[in-house]
């Protein structure tokens, strides 16, 4: 923070993006600031506060759930729309983030703007096939969440572009989902592992499954082999065995792999 020369508080997305792109300011966008306010890069000279930018709404649009990037964890925890979507998994995940004081400040946009192992939402959004709306020099564009951190995108959210919305596709509305945060205490920021499971039944089988893992690396990842086993109908025990093997390959460690496999087995048995 010590290199900051300007404090800017734009009131529209357009103004915010213009400030980010203006080389004079060397600006970085902050919302809640809980992750980065204490660790701003030394090259940043303008603290771009987006609290007045109208990107906080949570709404239904075209059958999708659209969460404004400025919505706080508390907003999402209390949102009736979020509580009614995918079994309430988005709200449940928001409620498991750290403490109420953090949940009052931290936003979903900030949580996904840059990868960090202990961020709660990335693993959920990966599992829900979410998309992210980015405003940049070339206008607004919708990108797959899983592509957000790839260098191929050519954008650095918060530095040259602004995340304005998270779009959860309508197909996920009725999915059976579960989010698990395995941590020392409920209000720990750190987690041993975070897990997202989802399934959609079709007849006696499954139409889709998602198994996503967070807290092991800055970017969450899916467990494709475990998903295949679940889709094949091989049953909870076989899925748990496959999951433990995938986590072992990801160097999760024995405790995490064993606990996560048990949790998947419980979920698979409840479908």
Partner 1 sequence: MKNNIIEMTRGFFNITVAVNGEKKELAVRNGEFLLDALRRHGWKGTKKGCDTGDCGSCAVILNGKPVLGCLVPAVAAHDGAITTIEGLGSVREPHPLQAAFVEAGAVQCGFCIPGMILSSKHLLDVTPNPTEAEIRKALDGNLCRCTGYVQQVAAVKNAAKTLAGKGKRA
Select 187 or 241, whichever has its Cβ closest to partner 1: 187
The H-or-E segment that residue 153 falls in is none
Identify the H or E element spanning 20: helix 13-21
Binding mask 165-194 for partner 1 (x = CB under 8 A): ---------------------xx-x-----
Distances (CA, A) of 228 to 169, 195, 222, 235, 244: 22, 17, 11, 11, 14
Q: In what order do the strands lie in the sheet with 131-136?
A: 58-61, 64-68, 162-168, 131-136, 139-144
Binding flag, residue 270, partner 1 (CB under 8 A): no
Helix axes 224-232, 236-249, angle to 10 degrees: 170
Which C-beta is closer to partner 1: that of 57 or that of 187? Answer: 187
Report if residue 105 touches partner 1, rule: CB under 8 A.
yes
Nearer to partner 1, 1 or 60 (CB): 1
The position carrying tokens 């998947």 is 264
Per CB under 8 A, the segment of 3-11, 162-170, 209-217, 242-250 that binds partner 1 is: 3-11
Q: Which is nearer to partner 1, 99 or 232 (CB)?
A: 99
Angstrom distance (rounded) from CA 140 to CA 21: 14
CA-CA-CA-CA torsion for 92, 217, 219, 175, nearest 10 degrees? -40
> CB-hemisphere CA count at 13 Å for 159?
10
22 is a contact residue toward partner 1 (CB under 8 A): no
Of 135 and 172, the one with the shorter C-beta distance to partner 1 is 135
Query: Which part of the chain contacts partner 1 (CB under 8 A), choosing from 61-69, 94-102, 115-123, 208-216?
Result: 94-102
Please report whether residue 8 would count as binding partner 1 according to CB under 8 A.
yes
Nearer to partner 1, 151 or 185 (CB): 185
Question: Is residue 10 at the binding interface for partner 1, with CB under 8 A as the rule?
Answer: yes
Q: How many CB atoms lie within 10 A of CB 22?
A: 12
If binding is defined by CB under 8 A, does position 49 make contact with partner 1? yes
Interface ranges with partner 1 (CB under 8 A)? 1-2, 4-11, 15, 30, 33-34, 37-38, 46-47, 49, 51-52, 74, 95, 98-102, 104-105, 186-187, 189
């Amino acid at each position: 923070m010590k290199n900051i020369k300007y404090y800017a508080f734009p009131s529209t997305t357009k103004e915010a993006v213009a400030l980010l792109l203006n080389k004079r300011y060397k600006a970085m966008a902050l919302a809640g600031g809980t992750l980065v306010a204490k660790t701003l890069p030394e090259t940043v000279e303008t603290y771009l506060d987006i609290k007045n930018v109208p990107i906080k709404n949570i709404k239904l649009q075209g059958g999708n759930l659209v969460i404004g990037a400025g919505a706080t964890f508390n907003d999402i925890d209390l949102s009736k729309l979020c509580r009614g979507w995918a079994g309430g998994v988005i709200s449940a995940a928001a409620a498991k983030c750290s403490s109420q004081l953090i949940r009052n400040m931290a936003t979903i946009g900030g949580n996904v703007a840059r990868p960090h192992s202990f961020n709660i939402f990335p693993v959920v959004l990966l599992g829900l096939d979410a998309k992210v709306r980015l405003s940049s020099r070339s206008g607004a564009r919708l990108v797959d969440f899983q592509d957000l951190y790839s260098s191929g995108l050519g954008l650095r959210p918060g530095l040259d572009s602004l995340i304005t919305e998270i779009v959860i596709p309508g197909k996920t509305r009725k999915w059976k989902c579960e989010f698990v945060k395995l941590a020392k205490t409920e209000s720990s920021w750190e987690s041993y592992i975070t897990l997202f499971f989802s399934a959609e039944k079709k007849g006696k089988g499954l139409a889709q499954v998602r198994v996503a893992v967070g807290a092991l690396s800055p970017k969450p990842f899916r467990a494709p082999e475990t998903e295949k086993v679940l889709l094949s109908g091989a049953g909870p025990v076989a899925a748990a065995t496959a999951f433990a093997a995938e986590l072992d390959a990801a160097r999760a460690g024995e405790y995490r792999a064993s606990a996560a496999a048990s949790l998947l087995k419980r979920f698979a048995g409840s479908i």
